[in-house]
Amino acid sequence: MRSVAPLHLPVEDDRTGRVVLRDGTVAAIRPADAADAEALTAFLSGFHDPALLARFSRAAGLRPEPDGRPPDQAFTLVARRTVAHAPAIIGVGSYVRLSDASAEVAFAVDEAAQGLGLATALLERLIVDAARHGIHVFRAAVPPQNLAMLDVFRQSGFEQRAVAEPDRVLVELTLVPTAAAVWAAEERERVATSASMRRVLCPRSVAVIGVSRSPSSIGRRVFDAIVRGGFKGSTYPIARSADAVAGMRAHTSIGDIGAPVDVAIIAVPYTSVPSVVDECAAAGVKGLVVISAGFAEAGAEGRRRQAALLDQVRGYGMRMVGPNCMGIMNARPDVSLNASFSPLFPPAGRLALLSQSGALGVIVLALAAERQLGLSTFVSVGNKADISGNDLLQYWEADPETSVIALYLESFGNPQRFGRIARRVSRRKPIVAVKAGRTLAGSRAAGSHTAALAANDAAVTALFRQTGVIRAETTDDLLDIATCLEAQPLPAGPRVGIVTNAGGPGILAADACTAAGLTVPELGAATREVFRAFLPPEAGISNPVDMIATAGADEYRRAVETMLTSPDVDALLVLYTSLDESSMPAVLAAIEAGVIEARSKEGAARPVVACVMAAGPKPALRAGDERIPLYVFPENAARALGKVAAYAAWRQAPPGVFWDYPDLDRQTARAVCRDAAAGRGAGWLSQDEMRTVARAAGIPMIATVLAHTAEEARAQAVTLGLPLVAKMSAVGVVHKTEVGGVITNLASVEDVATAFETLAGRARAHGLQFEGVVLQPMIEQGVETIVGMIRDPLFGPLVGFGLGGTSVEVLGDVQFRLSPLTDRDVASLVDETRAGRLLAGYRGRPAADRAAVEELVARVSLLAEAVPEIAELDLNPVLVLPDGQGCRVVDARIRVAAVAGA
């Protein structure tokens, strides 16, 4: 076993064909085809090296290879932009195979696009394609004066060797990703994406296209919101049939403005959107916010329109929010932009908010205003055809005005990329998310226990847990959590101190804290002594500290200070039940004073939240510049604090390590699965095929033989030893116990022969194609667990673990993680199950070999990554033996399916 870096280029997750360049513009990259012949020849003819033209022509397959090499030996990518309203090639990257493991690579980039990272983007995509085809080395001959191309290779982060000759530099690039290469690629993407987002979210000028005289029209509402919000830049209304709008001169088109426009807000019928985009491009607009509906949300024809719109926008190098969105906001004082049809414009703050739903966005903005939660930026992504949550996460990661990120999501476009970005961002800034659509609409046929247990929400849960994303259950919960994160420091642990003037709310708070995963510890003697000095004898000073109803301002001030400075707790929950409205202002002021006094002392950097139970509106609580979150009920405060504490623990723990095993034979495992899928189509591997894959992956199968006759079963029983288990082997059987296909405790050779005949008869009775009987030794000790994998079409491999056996669905103990798994992912996966607790030993039983089953889970994850043809894998039961004795897989099933393009 060895640790390896999580070496994964960002482009490996990209399915859009889009590349964001250093200047914030975009280009489209795709494989070249025969239709590109004329344009490609014209583009390359502008370069002076005749060998370059020949090389690219061969690589693109535009004419036959002189040595008869098949087309899959060469690959060419073209980068395109729209120039003069027509698509044009602005860059080409190509490789031509030289040997089994090496290829020659070459690039050509239009002069106007040089220095923007286009050649690097082409190189990264060529590397990914070459690696899929077993190419491990790129070679290039670069003229010594082409310093820019040499820099592309040098700054890629991949290991390289360069040899200078009189007229060229021979470069050899090793295509095995290094930590430096992955970091460089991630950083390039982050910087470019942030630049493109700034052009949209921090504009100096905005045009609203589709403004009318009617105050109720969407375009007019957006325009009025911009004016009312006090946008610090220039605002231009575009109205086809009005000379002026709200006293401001209106323009008939964006081209009539005669001044630069950074962002255009488009609120016209969908039929007019394409022509408006053309006008915006001609005027030099950098970003679009398309509020117009009638695209992907409107069915098949709408999806076609959206795809055409996206190609059009990307062709011009622009970025787009929407379509079908409510707009954007930037509350930063030097921007103050409300380019949306929301009537609410929250004050400036440090919360960044994304909403996939316009209506929910308005609601969340209202809830934020109620909680006096300030905003940095808000984006309603709508159909997120171009700008997505992944783009915004990278912008907010670097945005100094943002400290907390909140997301309302209905779907994921690219969850693998989201996971890698979120895992990085969560180390610096908390991400809180509500994911709608948690239930599976309708039922599906499941071929294994793992598939039956992997509901659609399991992938989202796994994704959030592995990346540190805080999952909120409701929009109200989202704002409760965000308020605590934005206003208070993170707790160092789960211990909560509670002070109250009423016993009932204190008990509710203690129960809610426990339910939220927090602890309410009994206070130490020193802390209790301090409380005893100023509280009456009848007060409870254990925790919760019940100061009783007579507690006034002075008691609250001293109690808050005492608890916040106590070494016994990591956070403070203050409860105040108002019995006399006239005394409430003094008590609230005392709470604020107690926090201020505590903050002046060393070791008091603990979060404090409050709950004021009184009729009427509650004033804000502020301790100097610090805002104290105020909640309606103790349960709300406890839930928020519990989520924050769990996030703090995730962030404090060191990042996980990706393990690898040198004995894992990926090549053999994939060959078996690929051949089976290609030869028979999607389906289950045979027992022999499955065991070959298991051996290649290092999966510890129990000793197993397949007997085809009763006599053969007798002979095998002598070899294996008694007692034995006999299992039916028949085509199409998924769960053997459902057809009486398992007989246990076979204590003699005759018992084995009889069992063979019995199982053969049961197979015939059920109309099954009987293959024989599987014989295995009886193991009567060990914890029965299940390890499985199901490949989600969107999220990729989901690896599961929990209590196994025939009642696995009834037990419902299985938890999931998204592959690839770190050692920390594996440990937390086991910890979250009842099986994990059983492995520690119970009722006199010895502890089981947890390390062995954790290794098995890790191997399954690696197998899933190495063999994309594995659609489903079920190891059940996996018997975990006493500590040091390993584990044994009793039964295994693997379903395969062909992979497109493999």
User: Is there a contact between 308 and 351 (Cβ–Cβ < 8 Å)?
Assistant: no
pLDDT beyond 90 at 656: no
pLDDT beyond 60 at 487: yes
Q: How far apart (Å, rounded) are the C-alpha atoms in residues 554 and 111? A: 74
Residues 6+ positions from 54 with CB-CB distance below 8 Å: none
Supply the pLDDT for residue 3: 52
pLDDT beyond 90 at 242: no
Q: Which two tokens stand for residue 623?
A: 């301790």
Q: Which two tokens stand for residue 596?
A: 């201020």
The owner of tokens 């002021």 is: 589
Cα distances from 592 to residues 533, 561, 606, 626, 763, in angstroms, run 21, 10, 14, 9, 76
β-pair type (658-660, 404-409): unpaired
Q: Which residue has the higher pLDDT, 13 or 605?
A: 605
β-pair type (705-707, 769-777): antiparallel
Q: How far apart (Å, rounded) are the C-alpha atoms in residues 621 and 711? A: 84
- DSSP string covering 84-110: TTEEEEEEEEEEEE-SSSEEEEEEEE-
Supply the pLDDT for residue 64: 42
In eight-state DSSP terms, residue 663 is: T
β-pair type (263-266, 705-707): unpaired
User: Is there a contact between 40 and 215 (Cβ–Cβ < 8 Å)?
Assistant: no
Residues 6+ positions from 731 with CB-CB distance below 8 Å: 768, 769, 771
Burial 266-289 (b: 16+ CB within 10 A, else e): bbbebeebeebbebbbebebbbbb
pLDDT beyond 80 at 687: yes
Supply the pLDDT for residue 67: 44
Give 339's Cβ-side CA count (13 Å radius).
Answer: 39
Q: How far apart (Å, rounded) are the C-alpha atoms in residues 541 and 539? A: 6
Q: Which residue has the higher pLDDT, 458 or 246?
A: 458
* Average pLDDT, integer, range 191-200: 95
Residues 6+ positions from 651 with CB-CB distance below 8 Å: 426, 427, 468, 490
Summary mean pLDDT of the chain: 90
Closest CA to 23 of 154, 146, 115: 115
Q: How far apart (Å, rounded) are the C-alpha atoms in residues 259 and 250? A: 14
Closest CA to 5 of 218, 178, 199: 178
How confident is the model over 381-431, as pLDDT tens digits? 999 999 999 999 999 999 999 999 999 998 888 898 999 999 999 999 999
Residue percentage of the chain with pLDDT more than 90 = 70
* Average pLDDT, integer, range 568-574: 98
The owner of tokens 């254990």 is: 542
Q: How far apart (Å, rounded) are the C-alpha atoms in residues 834 and 57? A: 61
State pTM to two decimals: 0.90
Q: How far apart (Å, rounded) are the C-alpha atoms in residues 454 and 468? A: 21
Closest CA to 564 of 604, 534, 593, 597: 604
Count of CB atoms situated within 10 Å of the CB of 539: 18
Residues 6+ positions from 742 with CB-CB distance below 8 Å: 725, 726, 727, 728, 736
Supply the pLDDT for residue 58: 64
